[in-house]
């Protein structure tokens, strides 16, 4: 049986419906999942194990049999922890069938089949009774239903249903409670992701339309690795506030609620952004805490645990507001059953409804796209390039999604079409080279261009560098054993899904959030000449790149650089030369491609080992096929 899947076509910019195997969707889900990241999260696993041991001990101290309900069991790890801690029986609920099957194999392999029952259902469909999925209600509730926003995976409705239907009154819960924290800040960098800002071109001020500048924006959370945003990039306007807590051992409501925290402003500034994260107490006393706080909140930032499945949240206020030092402020968080939003409200005033975009721009542009459009240095690079080619009688055609370049060209005096311009940027582009769609547009317009038409950018270059990741490698590394349990079947399932297609492809990652070291010199490997039309035949290149630094190579980072004219180049990857030690600084606006090696390679840095590469640009599909091998000379 086959299924149709939507896929962006880099050659046409359109969404194509492609016939795929019926297993394609779940292979994609598994291959791109965070399961490996969670299993590598020792801090999370250790805290859960401690909390489960304590909860089982409290129930046993009451002289009761320990019956555990584990909602969202995944690999079955938490259920195996519960049985190891002394639980009499566990009901492990997992709605995703491939994962439920893997949990069944893992539980069997570790010898817990007689104590753990895998239930492949959504928890709200689980029944209790002699003929039900569960023989009796549980007295210990164990869950991992959280995302970066805490409630975005439906934790509140699931807890609400479980307390009504699946667990005993007064049950123990692991985690016992969750607490959400927030801090009001001013940040030019982060606020540039929220609103289109005024800009200046040749002495003329360009203002965004009122519909855009007055729009509250989309309410969706911006989840990032906040540890990579330096405290120098924002100014706290208030203290870190405890916004609200949820006690999971008691009945939980998914009804909309609001919570406020009042404080005097610590400094004068523009209230723009709310930084937020949460922690979970695994026990009632709060002695076992798993925190999502960014590393710069720790006395020793290096001691902060790294995880990618739970990050931190950035929320943008509907409008920025000037505040004075000492002014009394009231920060309000509101939530429904799946999402949170923040507002700065006068005391006693009702909180606003969930914000929504009315200008459409926030529905079309991503947060980082707003940041890219607001990047003054980048804008000036394009304006300088345009100034060198636009004449009073020029006609400009802009080929990019939501680009301001045609506006800049008009302000510089363009009248007729003799200049083809692009950033390039297209909302359908997932990987860096997908923006080669600009080249296809240039080819389609060839008969409309004057013989001496200027193409800007005039060329693009694909670049690569072999890297050692500080932490990102965890999302693709097999686990083997986790907290003493064999999770090999999980590794096998992930690898099978990767081998289905994903292990032969790059994946998009915002590398500014994931520190890495270059173990080779960066290299330009393919150049695409936009002054010529797209060729009919494939473009191929191959070569090798020697390791020049000692380290563990996890894969290759790839990005595009665009030559605007002879003097001006814009990089969508490295924004500065690699440091002597190999430190890399990446663009904040675009994602780069990452090709993970199946196994890391230990580099001695003496140049005797190298990464061999092979690239093929296929004009018929607008994509690049690649292959890498590592070998010693």
CB 578 within 8 A of CB 489: no
Mean pLDDT across the stretch 591-620? 94
23 pLDDT exceeds 60?
Answer: no
pLDDT surpassing 60 at residue 24? no
> Which of these is catalytic: 153, 188, 483, 505?
153
391 C-beta neighbours (distance < 10 Å), count = 14
Choose the catalytic residue: 144, 468, 502, 507.
144
What CATH code would you report for 178-364? Answer: 2.70.160.11
Active-site residue 423, yes or no? no
Rounded to an integer, the average pLDDT of 516-522 is 98
Instruction: Please determine, for residue 431, whether its predicted confidence score (pLDDT) is greater than 50.
Output: yes
When pLDDT is averaged across residues 382-386 and rounded to a whole number, the result is 91
Q: Where in the chain is the domain with CATH 3.40.50.150?
A: 34-176, 369-456
> Could you please report the per-residue DSSP string of 122-189?
-GGG--BSTTSSBSS-EEEEEE----TTSSTTSHHHHHHHHHHHTEEEEEEEES-EEEEEEEEEE-HH
Distance, in Å, from the CA atom of 388 to the CA atom of 392, rounded to the nearest integer, reads 12
**372 noted as active-site residue:** no
The mean pLDDT of 383-401, rounded to a whole number, is 86
Q: Which residue has the tokens 């519960």?
A: 82
Q: Among 2.40.110.10, 3.40.50.300, 2.60.40.10, 3.40.50.150, what is the CATH number of 369-456? A: 3.40.50.150
Per the model's pLDDT, the better-predicted residue between 461 and 11 turns out to be 461
What pTM was computed for the model? 0.91
Is 140 within 8 Å of 69 (Cβ atoms)? yes
Arithmetic mean of pLDDT, 344-354? 80
In the structure, what pLDDT confidence band is assigned to residue 26 with cuts at 50, 70 and 90?
low
Q: What is the 3-state secondary structure (H, E, C) of 485-547?
A: EECHHHHHHHHHHHHHCHHHCCEEECHHHCCEEECCCCEEEEEEECCCCCCCCCEEEEEEEEC
Find the mean pLDDT for residues 235-252: 98
Distance from C-alpha of 66 to C-alpha of 153, rounded to nearest angstrom: 27
Instruction: Say whether pLDDT at 28 is over 80.
Output: no
Decide which of 220 and 588 is more confident. Answer: 588
459-632 placed in CATH 3.20.20.370: no
CATH 2.70.160.11 positions along the chain are 178-364, 459-632
pLDDT digit string, tens, across residues 176-192: 999 999 999 999 999 99
Domain 34-176 in CATH: superfamily? Vaccinia Virus protein VP39 (3.40.50.150)
- Of the CA atoms within 13 Å of residue 344, those in its CB half-sphere come to 26
Residue 186: strand pairing partners: 235
């Amino acid at each position: 049986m086959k299924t149709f899947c939507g896929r962006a076509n880099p050659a046409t910019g359109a969404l194509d419906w492609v016939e795929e195997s019926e297993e394609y969707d779940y292979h994609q889900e598994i291959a791109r999942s965070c399961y490996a990241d969670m299993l590598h999260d020792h801090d999370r696993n250790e805290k859960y194990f401690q909390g489960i041991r304590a909860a089982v001990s409290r129930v046993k101290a009451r002289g009761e049999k320990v019956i555990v309900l584990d909602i969202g069991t995944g690999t079955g790890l938490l259920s195996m922890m519960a049985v190891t801690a002394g639980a009499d029986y566990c009901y492990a609920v997992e709605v995703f069938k491939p994962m439920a099957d893997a949990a069944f194999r893992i539980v069997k392999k570790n010898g817990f089949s007689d104590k753990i029952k895998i239930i492949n259902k959504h928890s709200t469909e689980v029944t209790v009774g002699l003929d039900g999925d569960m023989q009796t209600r549980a007295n210990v509730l164990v869950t991992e239903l959280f995302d970066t926003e805490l409630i975005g995976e439906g934790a509140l409705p699931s807890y609400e249903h479980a307390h009504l239907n699946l667990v005993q009154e007064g049950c123990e819960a692991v985690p016992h409670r969750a607490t959400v924290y927030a801090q009001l800040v001013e940040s030019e960098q982060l606020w540039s992701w929220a609103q289109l800002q005024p800009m200046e071109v040749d002495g003329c001020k360009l203002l965004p339309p009122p519909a855009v500048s007055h729009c509250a924006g989309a309410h969706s959370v911006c989840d990032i690795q906040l540890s990579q945003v330096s405290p120098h990039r924002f100014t706290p306007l208030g203290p870190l506030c405890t916004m609200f807590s949820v006690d999971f051992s008691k009945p939980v409501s998914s009804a909309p609620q609001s919570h406020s925290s009042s404080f005097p402003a610590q400094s004068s500034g523009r209230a723009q952004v709310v930084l937020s994260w949460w922690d979970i107490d695994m026990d009632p006393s709060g002695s076992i805490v798993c925190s999502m706080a960014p590393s710069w909140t720790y006395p020793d930032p290096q001691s902060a645990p790294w995880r990618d499945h739970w990050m931190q949240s950035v929320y943008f206020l509907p409008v920025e507001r000037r505040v004075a030092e000492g002014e009394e402020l009231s920060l309000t968080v509101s939530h429904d059953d799946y999402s949170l939003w923040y507002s700065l409200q006068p005391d006693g005033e009702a909180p606003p409804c969930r914000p929504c975009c009315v200008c459409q721009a926030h529905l079309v542009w991503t947060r980082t796209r707003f940041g890219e459009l607001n990047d003054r240095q980048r804008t000036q690079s394009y304006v300088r390039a345009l100034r060198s080619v636009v004449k009073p009688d020029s006609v400009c055609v802009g080929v990019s999604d939501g680009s301001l370049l045609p506006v800049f060209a008009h302000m510089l005096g363009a009248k007729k079409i003799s200049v083809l311009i692009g950033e390039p940027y297209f909302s359908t582009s997932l990987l860096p080279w997908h923006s080669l769609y600009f080249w296809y547009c240039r080819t389609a317009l060839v008969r409309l261009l004057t013989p001496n038409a200027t193409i800007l950018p005039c060329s693009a270059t694909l670049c690569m560098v072999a890297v050692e990741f500080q932490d990102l490698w965890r999302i693709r590394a097999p686990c083997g054993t986790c907290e003493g349990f064999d999770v090999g079947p999980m590794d096998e399932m992930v690898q099978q899904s990767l081998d289905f297609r994903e292990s032969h492809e790059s994946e998009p990652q915002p590398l500014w959030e994931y520190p890495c070291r270059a173990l080779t010199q960066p290299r330009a490997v393919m150049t695409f000449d936009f002054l010529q039309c797209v060729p009919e035949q494939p473009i191929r290149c191959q070569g090798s790149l020697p390791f020049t630094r000692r380290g563990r190579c996890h894969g290759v980072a790839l990005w595009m650089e665009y030559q605007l004219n002879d003097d001006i180049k814009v990089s969508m990857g490295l924004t500065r030369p690699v440091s002597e030690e190999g430190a890399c600084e990446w663009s904040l606006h675009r994602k780069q491609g990452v090709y993970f090696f199946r196994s890391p390679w230990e580099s001695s840095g003496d140049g005797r080992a190298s990464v061999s590469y092979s690239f093929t640009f296929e004009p018929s599909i607008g994509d690049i096929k690649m292959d890498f091998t590592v070998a010693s000379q």
